Amino acid sequence: MTAPLNAPNLGSDTVVVCGDRAGRLALSGELAAGLNETMICLARLESDLGADIAAFARPLRQALTDLCGHVDRAAAFLAEAAMDEPTLTPGCIDEDRFQRLLDIAGPDTAAELLHRMHLDLRGVRDRLDRALSADDWNEIRAQTHVLVSLAGTVGAVELQRLAEVMNAAAHRHDHEGASVLHPELLARLDTLLGYVAQKRDGR
């Protein structure tokens, strides 16, 4: 007789995390997606083989179900912790970091850098808006990954944080969470676009 499989004890007060915040959020989403795929594969095996695997399929399914619940709670904990971090003023940009970036580029390259940055941010905004409206989770993950990098580079810390949380929501296919974040994320992205445009145009 097959012994029941016990899910590891991952209570809400013993969440173990490692690496940077964006990596932790993305990892929890990837783990949840992997567990869901495993559940689907198990269901197919049960459908094909029936009683031949029933002895171990039932405890395995229960263990996976329990583990999925733990992962969901961990993902929610991480997303909530990120949202609870101190909030900067709307549209806040680290102007010193932005200027250092331009200084490093030098006068001959700064104009092209600003032009390219504005194009990249505009492209991310357009693609992200379409993806959010269509619940295109793969595209949301891709565009928020780019946005985390761009926002972090120029010192738009609050936008970077929102992009990280949106990325985690996309990994969980969290329609409600993404809908809540959607308007604020785009508003902050628009603010950054306006700031970059001013710098590009010498205003």
Contact 192, 121 (CB under 8 A): yes
Could you say which of 1.20.120.160, 1.10.150.130, 3.90.45.10, 2.60.40.10 is the CATH number of the domain covering 95-200?
Answer: 1.20.120.160
| pLDDT value for 203 | 66
Which residue is it, tokens 């970077």?
160
Q: What's the rounded Cα separation, in Å, for the pair 63 and 69?
A: 10
CB atoms within 10 A of CB 131: 20
Q: What's the rounded Cα separation, in Å, for the pair 61 and 2?
A: 13
| pLDDT value for 136 | 94
| pLDDT value for 190 | 92
pLDDT one digit per residue (tens) for the chain, 203 residues: 334 333 334 333 333 333 344 445 555 556 666 666 777 777 777 777 777 777 777 777 777 777 767 766 666 666 666 555 544 343 568 888 888 888 888 888 888 999 999 999 999 999 999 999 999 999 999 999 999 989 988 888 889 888 999 998 898 898 888 888 899 899 999 999 999 998 888 86
| pLDDT value for 22 | 45
Q: What are 203's two structure tokens?
A: 């205003």
Distance of alpha carbon 23 from its chain centroid, rounded? 9
| pLDDT value for 24 | 52
Q: What's the rounded Cα separation, in Å, for the pair 131 and 180?
A: 15
